[in-house]
Amino acid sequence: MEPHETSSKTLSELIQEKYALLKSGDYFALLGIPRDADLSAVRNAYFALAKVLHPDALSRQRLQGLEREAVEVFKAVTEAYTTLTDRKKRAEYEAETRAAPDRTTGEMRAARDRTQEARIFFHKGTLFLQRRVFQDAEACFRKAADLDPATGRYFCYLGYAIMQNEALPPARRLEEARQWFQKAVEVSTNDHEPYYFMSLYYKAAGDVDKQRQCLQDALAINPRHVESRRELRLLAMRQTRGRSSGFFGGFQSLLNRFKKR
């Protein structure tokens, strides 16, 4: 048996073994590393596999009908490497697999694609919002929320775009905004943004007590949130001016009555 035939046979077995793992969605098993593998271990495992699975290397081998499987395996191995070497992506992947360990790689990839598309629509929406094109901003935020309904901030910005759209009747836009802000609070209970946006609704509605409570809730989650702190200061200043105005206004009226005597 020629040396390259022995190598080819081993490579075929490797491809079949890795191909069988694709449906499991287990990136660690695909790379042949433990779940607590550090960055160096992930890189070493990937480059060892890429050395033999790269299309340029495969073109020199006789794979006996495994060309399609080899391409799929190389794509999956590369995706595993890209995910596990990125701290945020790895954390998201591990959270996904813990929550739904029976999901296939295809399903998880589709979920990540939807998440990424939602981010793109959200970014477009913020650009429209900056340009005060509220109707287009609303459409983008609505699409982002449809694609990724687990992210509360998309509902926040959707409600805000509606609330700012003066082409809509005031009562309607306020009520719709409130509904989306409430949805955001329910989806992201540990995020300060939904409470901050809800405070803007109560500010527009003239409910000072509820506005203050929402701002305090936002700051309880994130004490350094600049916008909430500023709004709370402005609220306190308005109330102080109101009390001062009431006192001095009454005092001036009393002086005027004495002058007339």
- Summarised one tens digit per residue, pLDDT across range 216-251 is 999 998 898 999 999 999 988 887 776 544 444 444
> Which one, of 196, 184, 186, lies nearest residue 221 by Cα?
196
Q: Is residue 129 part of a domain?
A: no
Q: Is residue 231 part of a domain?
A: no
Q: Is residue 52 part of a domain?
A: yes
Q: Is residue 18 part of a domain?
A: yes
Looking at the whole model, is its pTM more than 0.85?
Answer: no
- Give the per-residue pLDDT at 179: 95
Q: Is residue 63 part of a domain?
A: yes
Mean pLDDT, residues 76-95 taken together: 89
Helices (H), 54-104: 55-58, 67-84, 87-99
- Summarised one tens digit per residue, pLDDT across range 56-85 is 666 666 655 667 777 888 888 988 998 999
Total tally of structural domains belonging to the chain: 1
Q: Is residue 186 part of a domain?
A: no
Q: Is the confidence at residue 125, as pLDDT, over 60?
A: yes
Q: Print the SS3 string covering 26-61.
A: CHHHHHCCCCCCCHHHHHHHHHHHHHHHCHHHHCCC
Q: Is residue 92 part of a domain?
A: yes
Q: What are phi and psi of 63, to 5 degrees?
A: -95, -5
Query: Is the distance from CB of 31 to CB of 45 less than 8 angstroms?
Result: yes
> Domain of 7?
1-103
CATH value at residue 54: 1.10.287.110
